[in-house]
Amino acid sequence: MLRVALRHGVMDGDPAQSPEERHQAALALLQSAPDTELYDIRWIDAAPPTRHRTLTPVQCSRCGEDVAEDHAELVDGRPVCPECMADMRQATIRGATADDI
Ligand SMILES: [Zn+2]
């Protein structure tokens, strides 16, 4: 696998400069410096990263908002978004039941 990484310290800039000056210097360096000066490019013996999984949206059974399936919790077999779960937990602390919410 080909590894391309910014060289360590190449964007550190002059600590005597203000953050804005360092930012401008970094932008100028990125636009003008040769790739070999900016990047460490080499072949490494590693498996490529796995593909990012797609989060399937589901509808919260309480508020109707879409929520990523992995972020929803099931209450009585139906998805509930994190915000509604927080409301339900707070209500439970106050003594209400899930059906009261
Ligand atoms: Zn909800």
CA 96 to ligand 1 center in whole angstroms: 17
Both 38 and 64 in one domain: the answer is no
Q: Which domain range does residue 80 map to?
A: 57-96
| φ, ψ of residue 64 in degrees (nearest 5) | 85, -5
Question: Residue 98 — pLDDT band, cuts 50, 70, 90?
Answer: low
CA 79 to ligand 1 center in whole angstroms: 8
Residue 50 in any domain: the answer is no
CA 53 to ligand 1 center in whole angstroms: 23
Tell me if the pTM is above 0.85: no
Residue 87 in any domain: the answer is yes
Residue 52 in any domain: the answer is no
Predicted pLDDT of residue 60: 97
Q: How many domains are contained in the chain? A: 2
Both 37 and 9 in one domain: the answer is yes
Both 39 and 63 in one domain: the answer is no
CA 52 to ligand 1 center in whole angstroms: 25
Residue 49 in any domain: the answer is no
Predicted pLDDT of residue 40: 92
Mean pLDDT of 40-62: 86
Residue 62 in any domain: the answer is yes
Most confident segment among 1-5, 12-16, 84-88: 84-88
Q: Which two tokens stand for residue 3?
A: 């590894």
Residue 48 in any domain: the answer is no
CA distance 49 to 78: 33
> Residue 46, by phi and psi: left (phi above 0), alpha (psi -120 to 50) or beta?
beta
